[in-house]
Amino acid sequence: MTLLCVSLAPSLDRYAWLPALRVGGINRPREVLSRAGGKGLNVARAATGLGVPARAVALVGGPTGDALRAHAAGLDVSWVDSGVETRQCQCLLDEGSGVLTQVYEPVRPVPAERWPAIRAAVAREIDGLGAGAVVALSGRVPPGLPATALAELVDHAAARGLPVLVDADGPALVAALAARPDLVKVNEHEAADATGTTAGDWAAAAALQALGARAVVVTAGSDGARYLGPDGQRVAVTHPPLPGALPVGSGDAFLAGLAAARLAGSGVLAGLRLAAAAARANARHLTAGDITRADVDAELADVHAG
């Protein structure tokens, strides 16, 4: 049983730890680290840390894409050429104040004519999965590719009897909902943007379900998460705030936890608790997706679902 993570907009992530961030001045980091990142690769890294057999397929290009590949140690990735330069993202931690500054380059447009080859490459990865596998579609769809890109991949996986988890935003998310993915995991802002709902997490979850998602999770950082199941089941996930939390990639760790629970055949409550514990474990340090099962198990006592 394998988790396949699809990342159409990965990034070369650079982390810098600074004694103090001086805006408008010269900054000399104490340490700098480069990693293969973006939502899909973060999910794959977190899932691997949880002991889940995980593969990824990622769209990369240019010298930055080459650098990203070189910093993907420990990940099993099938690389697909985008034909354009891969973006970079910067995370700057002021260690004195604990304040995190993030600078994310925009996702560069990919020529529309590349979509058939990209779709075929992802489809081959899906076709190679065995029974009991799970597919996770994470992150943005680059401009130039069709808004229906994720929906087409949901359809392809569903035709092979594979459950699909979606974590995306914008028009690509709305289009994917119409393909009826098994679960959609978004944060409260993404849910509001997709549905136009501002009445709260439950209303947003119901609106996403009305648009086609079978089950919905809306995350809200330290305020926990809300789950709405295909049978109308409602579950609130709560946990105490984490002082000094560094949430880069915590949503991705949450999705990895959901996937791990599904692959293990765990129930809804156990899966949500594992997911929230994974997000908390991720938020205890700066780099995205660097968690272990022991880290996650240590958080479970503080996570409640019901």
Q: What is the pLDDT of residue 201?
A: 74
Q: What is the pLDDT of residue 157?
A: 98
* 258-282 confidence digits (pLDDT tens): 999 999 999 999 999 999 999 999 9
Q: Which residue has the tokens 């997706």?
A: 289
Q: What is the pLDDT of the chain when averaged over all its residues?
A: 96
- pLDDT grade, residue 237 (50/70/90)? very high
Question: Mean pLDDT, to the nearest integer, of 67-94?
Answer: 97
* 34-74 confidence digits (pLDDT tens): 999 999 999 999 999 999 999 999 999 999 999 999 999 99
Q: What is the pLDDT of residue 262?
A: 97
Integer CA distances (angstroms), 269 to 9, 16, 98, 99, 230, in order: 31, 37, 33, 33, 14
Q: What is the pLDDT of residue 70?
A: 97
Q: What is the pLDDT of residue 1?
A: 86
Q: What CA–CA distance (Å, rounded) separates 153 from 178?
A: 12
* 125-181 confidence digits (pLDDT tens): 999 999 999 999 999 999 999 999 999 999 999 999 999 999 999 999 999 999 999
Where do the structural domains in the chain lie, given as residue ranges?
3-305
Q: What is the pLDDT of residue 248?
A: 96
Q: What is the pLDDT of residue 176?
A: 97
Q: What is the pLDDT of residue 197?
A: 82
Q: What is the pLDDT of residue 213?
A: 98
DSSP code at position 169: -
Look at the domain 3-305 and name its fold: UDP-N-acetylmuramoyl-L-alanine:D-glutamate ligase (3.40.1190)
Sheet containing 87-94: give its strands across: 31-37, 11-18, 87-94, 100-104
In this model, does residue 200 exceed pLDDT 80?
Answer: no
Q: What is the pLDDT of residue 199?
A: 62
The pTM score is 0.97
